[in-house]
Amino acid sequence: DSSSGSSGFASKGSFPGRVPAAIGRKRLRIVVTGGAGFVGSHLVDKLISRGDEVIVIDNFFTGRKDNLVHLFGNPRFELIRHDVVDPILLEVDQIYHLACPASPVHYKYNPVKTIKTNVMGTLNMLGLAKRVGARFLLTSTSEVYGDPLEHPQKETYWGNVNPIGERSCYDEGKRTAETLAMDYNRGADVEVRIARIFNTYGPRMCLDDGRVVSNFVAQAIRKQPMTVYGDGKQTRSFQYVSDLVDGLVALMEGEHVGPFNLGNPGEFTMLELAEVVKETIDSSATIEFRANTADDPHKRKPDISKAKELLNWEPKISLREGLPLMVNDFRNRILEGDEGRGL
């Protein structure tokens, strides 16, 4: 097969023309799929700033060049328009696999495409990892726990997922992606890492992507009522993006496969979240109740003991500290007329 020329190539760090990084270890070449998106672009910033080479693969379904424009012209950065559903040949040391729409509005827009992205996209990236001996990190999700019957959720919980519902393309897609990662780990000795990410917010989220934090913040800035779905008593735990990025890097660099919950255990009802947004942005902001969506999980809160113990990681930024950090970005983009990707 084609692996003879490149197997072990990546791990020996012998890319032609590479110079040692200033950080006292060999410079890595890293692929970030979905790197033009919200989480991916923050991760890319961190990897570039520590001295590594980054190749972003993105089909721009929900990602934007604007999220990376500050890196254009940097010789250690490369952006490839590519759909992970199709195979690709690259020589790299690490793969952060994020490509997948994350907001319910986006992943339900073309559910079959969401499944193809999760299954075929993950298969291709694992095939790539196997061929070049790269370490592979999957960004899975708290949605693998479905509408959980255990609270808070530990990694040992197998979940309560509807296999035929509107969310299944995402939930079951990510569950299959986890299965693929474990099978490549056991069967082909690929070094894999699995993160189960809980609701994350911050600058560069798509405006109007339907997620609750981006909705409430954009609505409050535009002086529109904040739309609370259902009775607003359902809970979520919100993590600021820089905490997540630190967790993803700690996981990639560590020795444990996982899965690891990466989230902030601070739990809020949607009504409480609306109150915090009101305090942060506009004390005259109002709320409006709307019908809830199908299969909406009633509560969600990570148990992060495993990540604390084995990765020495825990989030540092509370919701009250993190929200103001995304408001300026949202204000500027709303003023500039960026209407995001409201589908």
List, by residue number, the catalytic residues: 170
Token pair in block for residue 28: 């890595």
Q: Which does 121 bind (CB under 5 to 8 A by kind): ligand UDP, ligand NAD, none?
A: ligand NAD
Going by C-alpha positions, the residue among 150, 148, 297 that lies closest to residue 234 is 297
Q: Which does 40 bind (CB under 5 to 8 A by kind): ligand NAD, ligand UDP, none?
A: ligand NAD
Q: How far is the CB of 129 from ligand UDP (least distance, A)?
A: 8
Report if residue 84 touches ligand NAD, rule: CB under 6 A.
yes
Report if residue 242 touches ligand NAD, rule: CB under 6 A.
no
Residue whose entry in the numeric block shows the structure tokens 């490509």:
99
Report if residue 237 touches ligand NAD, rule: CB under 6 A.
no
Q: What is the DSSP letter of 26?
A: P
CB count within 10 Å of CB 74 equals 12
Nearest residue to ligand UDP, by Cβ distance, number only:
127
What string marks each residue from 208 to 247 as x (binds ligand UDP by CB under 6 A) or -? --xxx--x-----------xxxx---x-x-----------
Residue closer to ligand NAD by CB (options 9, 44) is 44
- In DSSP terms, which residues pair with 146 in a beta bridge? 160
Report if residue 289 touches ligand NAD, rule: CB under 6 A.
no
What string marks each residue from 195 to 234 as x (binds ligand NAD by CB under 6 A) or -? --x-xx-----x----------------------------
Report if residue 59 touches ligand NAD, rule: CB under 6 A.
yes
H helices within the chain, ranges in order? Answer: 9-12, 38-49, 104-109, 111-116, 122-132, 168-188, 212-221, 241-253, 270-281, 305-311, 319-336
Report if residue 104 touches ligand NAD, rule: CB under 6 A.
no
How far apart (Å, rounded) are the C-alpha atoms in residues 294 and 140? 21
How far apart (Å, rounded) are the C-alpha atoms in residues 29 and 31? 7
Report CA-CA distances (Å) from 199 to 3, 46, 188, 298.
38, 20, 32, 14
118, 171 in Cβ contact below 8 A? Answer: no
Residue closer to ligand NAD by CB (options 14, 318) is 318
How far apart (Å, rounded) are the C-alpha atoms in residues 91 and 6? 7
Report if residue 108 touches ligand UDP, rule: CB under 6 A.
no
Binding interface with ligand NAD (CB under 6 A): 33-34, 36-40, 57-63, 83-85, 98-102, 117, 121, 139, 141, 197, 199-200, 206
Binding interface with ligand UDP (CB under 6 A): 87-89, 104, 123-124, 127-128, 130-131, 199, 210-212, 215, 227-230, 234, 236, 270, 292-293, 296
